[in-house]
Amino acid sequence: MALKLTDLKTNVHNDWCPGCGDFGILNAVQMALAEMNVEPSNVVIVSGIGCSGKMPHYIKTYGVHTLHGRLLPFASGIKIANPNLEVVCVGGDGDGMGIGAGHFVNSGRRNLDMAYIVHDNGVYGLTKGQASPTLKLGMKTKSLPKPNINQAVNPLLLAIASGYTFVARGYAYDVRHLKELIKKAINHKGFAFLDVLQPCPTYNDILTKEYWAGEDNLDPSGKPVPRVYKLEETGYDGVVHENTEEEIERKVAQAVLKSFEFGDRTPIGVFYQNEFTPTYEERLNSRMPTYRTYPPAMQRIARDDGTPLAKVQKLLDELSLT
């Protein structure tokens, strides 16, 4: 039976601001899951804190709304315990690149087979618009008393450096394109990072929907030129096709260069993808050959009468004196 979009919607009142880019991301996630015909109880949406953190409550799958910055280790614990689950992480830019930066980097090193969607709007929305780690130096969004004094982190560059094996960017108001990227991210074998340009209509009055649509960026004929363009339309191919050092280096270098484009011409699409890097699950399985077939969540630990199944007597015997 095909999954309908409505099957994935809860009746929880959505309290995001009208016009928020988050709606685009939510719709894209639900559309992607519906098209993939997932089994809802096999999907876990894990979020952090902030406006984006509320997303799981609007999706009728398992939803885990965790702590600020900690969604990745929570999600990793779930995925390692049960690698059969489809785990989708959803967080904000402050969550991932600020308070959770350590987890962001180290989760890339592990390369668990999950997807991570970042709502990137340059501000901390739910605390009323402070500068986030992706806001450029000197920008003064609406509620900042002074221009931003810090340099911005480049999320794509950081993701590449950290070892994410899928690095992409989407735009919240191009829902169809975003939906395709989400499907790719979920289908990717390994940890997929998807940065989403998400206008915050309330607190970011610079990187607005109108800004990205290029309403002030007119061509000689007076037509607006959108500031985002699709990588795939320029013939860019971020995928590593063969597992050689040269190919990987070339694709990484190309993605690194691309990651610096921002502003009047901002690329969206897949910057980099490499499925040759072993996933964490594969690495675990190479040490524990029954890990994949019989992961922690599937292991029985006791008989019905409570007798433990682990044979530790052998370990005790190793320490025995007789």
Partner 1 sequence: MIGGAQGSGVDTSANIFARAAAQGGYHVFGKREYYSNIKGEHSYFQVRVSSKIIRSHVDTVDMLASFDEETVFRHALEVRPDGAIVYDPDLKMKKLEDVPTIEKNVKESLVRRLSQSGLGTTMQDILELARKRGVHLYPIPYMDLLKQVGQKFGESSLSSLSRMTNVMAVASSYALLSFDSSILKDAIMKVFRSKQKVAEMNQAAVDVVYSFVQEKYDGSFGYTLPPIKVNERRIFMRGNVTVGIAKELAGCRLQTYYPITPASDESEYLEAHEVIELDNLPGEPELAEQQTVKNGSIVVVQTEDEIAAITMAIGGGLAGVRSSTSTSGPGFSLMAEGLGWAGMNEVPVVVTLYQRAGPSTGMPTRHEQGDLRFALFTGHGEFPRIVLASGDLEEVFYDTVRAFNYAERYQTPVIHIIDKALANSDTTLPMLDIAKVKIDRGVTITGKYETNNGVEFPRFKQTETGISLRPAVGTKGVVYWLTGDEHDEFGHISEDPTNRVIMMDKRMKKLEVADREIPLSEKVNFFGPEEAKITVLSWGSTKGAILDAIDWLREEGIDVNFLQIRLINPFPTEYVSNVLSRAKKIVDVEMNYSGQLAEVTMEKTCIPIKNKIVKYNGRPMSCEELYHALKSFAEGTAPTRVVLTNGS
Residue 213 interacts with partner 1 (CB under 8 A): yes or no: no
Q: Which CB atom, from 266 or from 285, has the smaller least distance to partner 1?
A: 285
Residue 254 CB burial class (10 angstroms; 0-12, 13-18, ≥19) = middle
Residue 5 interacts with partner 1 (CB under 8 A): yes or no: no
Site for partner 1 in 101-130 (CB under 8 A): 102-103, 105-106
Q: Which CB atom, from 52 or from 259, has the smaller least distance to partner 1?
A: 52
Q: Compute φ and ψ for 169, nearest 5 degrees.
A: -135, 140
- The C-alpha torsion from 175 through 178 and 179 to 184, rounded to 10°, is 170
Q: Which CB atom, from 80 or from 181, has the smaller least distance to partner 1?
A: 80
Could you tell me the smallest distance in angstroms from the CB atom of residue 166 to partner 1? Answer: 21
Residue 314 interacts with partner 1 (CB under 8 A): yes or no: yes
Site for partner 1 in 37-96 (CB under 8 A): 39-42, 44, 49, 54, 56-57, 60-67, 70, 72-82, 84-85
The b/e string for 286-319 (b: 16+ C-beta within 10 A; e otherwise) is eeeeebeeebeeeeeeeeeeeeeeeeeeeeeeee
Report the relative pairing of strands 86-92 and 123-124 from DSSP bridges: unpaired
The DSSP secondary-structure symbol of 66 reads -
* Spatial contact of 121 and 204, defined as CB atoms under 8 Å apart: yes
Site string for partner 1, 167-206 (x = CB under 8 A): ----------------------------------------
Residue type for 186, please? Answer: I
The footprint of partner 1 (CB under 8 A) covers: 10, 12, 39-42, 44, 49, 54, 56-57, 60-67, 70, 72-82, 84-85, 102-103, 105-106, 284, 287-291, 293-294, 296-297, 299-316, 319-322
